[in-house]
Amino acid sequence: MSMQFECVSAWKQNNPKFEQDAIAMWAETGRLLPKHSPEDRAKELAVLAYAEGRLVGITTCVITFYPPLRQKFAFMRLLLRPEVEKSGVVVPLTFAFRETLRQWSLENPAEKVAGYGAVITNRGYGARGVLNAGLTLVNHTPEGSQVRVFWWDHFRLDI
């Protein structure tokens, strides 16, 4: 069965519908750790994937300085509903995230965001998606998860 997905940008939009959909999906899947407030995490929404009007994939973004590379990166978190994990949505969702944050970086050069990255904690759908999205292995976390990044082609290091 082939599913059609629509990836929509939610980055910096403060859209109540997107936030409510994400909070509901986190509650339904039980995948948001108790230490995280759903309302706060909803302010980090980046790109969402919908299928037949239902939210099936969420990316959130935190822009943070990554010490090993001495630059700021837009780090992606990804959550898919279990029933779509093997549907192929991870690749277009990851590409949409990359393009959304690349465009935002171009429009906000003073932020000096070097690229985007992800910590690969799941050897399943997340790992397959990042291999197709151009992310390069740059490090490992103390727990052994891969840290991968993609540098924007427009980013220039200060010399």
Residue 26 is given by DSSP the state: H
Domains of the chain by residue range: 6-151
SS3 73: strand
Burial of 122 (0-12, 13-18, 19+ CB in 10 A): middle
Q: Phi, psi (5° rounding) for residue 26?
A: -60, -40
CB 116 within 8 A of CB 33: no
Tell me the β-bridge partners of 118. Answer: 76, 148
CATH of 6-151, one of 3.90.1300.10, 3.40.50.300, 3.40.630.30, 3.30.9.10: 3.40.630.30
Question: Would the pTM count as exceeding 0.85?
Answer: yes
The whole-number pLDDT of residue 122 equals: 64
Per-residue pLDDT of the chain (159 residues; tens, 9 = 90+): 467 899 999 999 999 999 999 999 999 988 888 888 999 999 999 999 999 999 999 999 999 999 999 999 999 999 999 888 888 888 889 999 999 999 999 999 999 999 999 988 765 555 556 666 788 889 999 988 889 999 999 998 877
